[in-house]
């Protein structure tokens, strides 16, 4: 077991890695939650590692102070007398942890002579044992923690057309991906960097908050077949420009342009690349600028489409066109796999071809994390859980911050009743500010299921904010209205929630998935069981196997599970779609309801 357990919020992952590497260099065994095995319950593993650790280092930040998980881990460490705490951005520990000394590591970039680090190292030495070496052995020094850290802020879209955001975001993401391949450089994840999108920021404050030495910012202007990109690298500690450049190119030169920017940053930081890193930076998923552009459009639509059928069909069309141009474009195959799988599992399109598309993507590039996540979902639906867990573990290893990977991991945990695990992954997927409103909506359900009312309220506010932002652009987006209604119901705004329910049904009365979500809101938060049953009837009448499995796992339906009308509808639905028997089929629900005189338990 490890000597040191590190507890942190997701936005400070770069600092957690840096601190862990510094402790490893001192000879300690270090554990962070990026080593979680996908086949075990998150809470079980965390408890096991907390108990085994000799010291628990809590990295407080503005986000960590609000985190249910960080607080719980700090509480366990305090009770066991092995809490070591520090602040990364000046945020003070909440009660009761503010009664214990907290080291100041705001803006720490790995300097082992820093006073704050000296305090942390001394406390860990006291707890973990004096036998630990004070420095790495000269004979076999471990690799030092990267002393340079970069945050690539989302490039500003200067095209005058909001519809071009997908392109500027895509350029930003690709530069993040390129720089992440440089081992001597610590790069902030896309999720953490994009929280600043659209904001007026203080570079030094961003650097302190994220624990980086440098910040890259820039803009993209696209006009016809020309593109102009400006970029500047700023030394946040000195508040000075290290490098700046403006590029005017044909759109067909976009890949060479991205390579030049990444190479210029590496040169400005005086880093040397090994040959494998040089090759990795210049590797692109496609050589076609047109296919690349279509892929960016498809991905942006996936991020904003919320699983709606028209959006998924549009993604398939865009991805197919990209594949027609470049049949070896693995990322386009993976995007098509995601959309086809959504059409199959959420919209009843039998054998839509999602698994075959995922397999094709992996045959072209086995490192496409989203394709592994899609394959995991198909394997799980087929009852091949061990294989599904293995695919999911691979996806998380390849891209632990990806929205689609975390959403897949969260949903598989949700379906198996592991709500703590589901929360962890959904929180990671919800970290991107412009992400889908359906993800924080799932967090409402998960937090309610474990009795965390504060977490549910926080998630409901996020859901409502995102739904309202979509409705400003598209007032007739029925899914946004429906999820907004769910959030309002969770926040206790009953009358307003009912108004939104009526509005959603007027906009799209035939949407089955929308009716299901509205039924959950009515049953769980508004106590309107009759109305919920009425909404569920057409949904269950055409429910797919995957949808029936979700119905049986969803804690939002607790209020209707013992209702004879619901049980009858569920029995009829399962009769129409016979499947492999799992624990808790409809007849088992009836038996438990009758035997205990109350609602059946979730399976």
* 336 close to 319: Cβ distance less than 8 angstroms: yes
pLDDT tens, position by position, 469-517? 889 888 988 888 999 999 999 999 999 999 999 999 999 888 888 899 8
Domain ranges across the chain: 4-128, 148-284
Domains 4-128 and 148-284 share a fold: yes
pTM above 0.75, yes or no: no
Report domain 4-128's class. alpha beta
Q: How far is CA 602 from CA 468, 522, 583, in A?
A: 32, 19, 10
- For residues 520-542, average pLDDT: 90
pLDDT tens, position by position, 12-47? 877 888 888 888 878 888 888 765 555 555 567 778
Q: Which of 171-180, 332-341, 549-558 has the highest mean pLDDT?
A: 332-341
Count of C-beta atoms within a 10 Å radius of residue 473 = 10
pLDDT at 384 over 50: yes
From the number of C-beta atoms within 10 Å of its C-beta (0-12, 13-18, 19+), residue 342 rates as buried
- For residues 250-273, average pLDDT: 84
pLDDT tens, position by position, 135-165? 444 444 444 444 688 999 999 999 878 878 8
pLDDT of residue 40: 58
Integer Cα distance of 341 and 359 in angstroms: 12
From the number of C-beta atoms within 10 Å of its C-beta (0-12, 13-18, 19+), residue 596 rates as exposed
221: confidence class by pLDDT, cuts 50, 70, 90: very high
Q: Which of 57-66, 320-329, 341-350 has the highest mean pLDDT?
A: 320-329
Query: What residues form DSSP beta bridges with 214?
Result: 150, 235
Q: Mean pLDDT, the chain, as a whole number?
A: 83
pLDDT of residue 434: 66
395: confidence class by pLDDT, cuts 50, 70, 90: very high
| Residues comprising the chain, all counted | 603
Q: Which of 318-332, 380-394, 464-478 has the highest mean pLDDT?
A: 318-332
Percent of the chain predicted with pLDDT > 70 = 88
- For residues 344-367, average pLDDT: 89
Q: 463 is written with which tokens?
A: 């859901």
pLDDT of residue 282: 62
Three-state secondary structure call for residue 562: coil
What's domain 148-284's architecture? 3-Layer(aba) Sandwich (3.40)
Torsion over CA: 62, 67, 73, 79 (sign) = positive
């Amino acid at each position: 077991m490890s000597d040191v357990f590190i507890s942190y919020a997701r936005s400070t992952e770069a600092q957690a890695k840096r601190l862990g590497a510094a402790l490893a260099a001192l000879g300690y065994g270090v554990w962070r939650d990026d080593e979680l095995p996908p086949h075990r319950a998150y809470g079980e593993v965390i408890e096991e590692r907390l108990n085994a650790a000799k010291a628990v280092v809590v990295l407080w930040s503005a986000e960590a102070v609000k985190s249910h998980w960080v607080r719980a881990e700090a509480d366990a460490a305090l009770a066991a007398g092995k809490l070591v705490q520090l602040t990364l951005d000046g945020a003070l520990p909440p009660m009761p942890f503010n009664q214990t000394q907290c080291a100041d590591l705001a803006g720490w970039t790995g300097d082992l002579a820093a006073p704050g680090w000296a305090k942390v190292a001394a406390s860990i030495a006291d707890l973990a044992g004096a036998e630990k070496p004070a420095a790495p052995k000269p004979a076999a020094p471990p690799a030092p923690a990267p002393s340079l850290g970069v945050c690539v802020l989302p490039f500003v879209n200067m095209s005058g057309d909001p519809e071009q955001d997908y392109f500027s975001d895509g350029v930003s993401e690709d530069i993040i991906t390129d720089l992440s391949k440089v081992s001597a450089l610590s790069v902030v994840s896309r999720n953490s960097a994009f929280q600043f999108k659209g904001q007026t920021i203080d570079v030094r404050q961003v650097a302190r908050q994220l624990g980086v030495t440098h910040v890259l910012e820039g803009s993209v202007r696209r006009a016809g077949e020309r593109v102009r990109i400006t970029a500047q690298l700023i030394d946040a500690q000195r508040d000075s420009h290290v490098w700046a450049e403006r590029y005017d190119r044909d759109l067909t030169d976009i890949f060479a342009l991205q390579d030049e920017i990444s190479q210029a940053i590496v040169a400005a930081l005086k880093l040397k690349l090994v040959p494998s890193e040089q090759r990795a930076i210049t590797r692109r998923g496609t050589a076609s600028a047109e296919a690349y552009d279509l892929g960016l459009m498809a991905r942006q639509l996936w991020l904003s489409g919320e699983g709606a059928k028209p959006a998924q069909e549009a993604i398939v069309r865009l991805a197919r066109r990209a594949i027609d141009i470049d049949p070896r474009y693995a990322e386009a195959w993976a995007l098509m796999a995601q959309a086809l799988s959504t059409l199959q599992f959420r919209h009843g399109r039998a054998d839509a071809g999602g698994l075959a598309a995922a397999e094709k993507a992996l045959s072209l590039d086995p490192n496409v994390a989203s394709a592994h996540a899609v394959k995991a979902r198909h394997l799980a639906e087929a009852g091949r859980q061990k294989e599904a867990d293995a695919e999911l573990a691979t996806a998380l290893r390849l891209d632990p911050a990806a929205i689609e990977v975390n959403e897949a991991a969260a949903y598989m945990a949700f379906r198996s009743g592991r709500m703590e695990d589901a929360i962890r992954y959904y929180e990671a997927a919800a970290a991107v500010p412009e992400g889908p409103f359906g993800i924080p909506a799932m967090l409402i359900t998960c937090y309610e299921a474990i009795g965390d009312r504060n977490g549910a309220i926080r998630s409901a506010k996020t859901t409502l904010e995102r739904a309202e932002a979509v409705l400003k652009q598209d007032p007739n987006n029925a899914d946004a209205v429906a999820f907004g209604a769910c959030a309002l119901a969770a926040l206790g705004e009953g009358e307003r929630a009912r108004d939104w329910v009526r509005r959603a049904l007027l906009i799209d009365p035939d949407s089955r998935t929308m009716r299901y979500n509205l039924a959950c809101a009515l049953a769980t938060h508004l106590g309107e069981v009759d109305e919920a049953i009425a909404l569920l009837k057409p949904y269950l009448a055409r429910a797919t196997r995957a949808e029936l499995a979700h119905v049986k796992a969803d804690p939002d339906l607790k209020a209707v599970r013992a209702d004879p009308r619901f049980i009858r509808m569920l029995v009829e639905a399962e009769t129409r779609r016979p499947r492999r028997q799992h624990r808790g089929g409809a007849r088992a629900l009836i038996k438990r309801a009758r035997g205990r005189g109350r609602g059946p338990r979730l399976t």
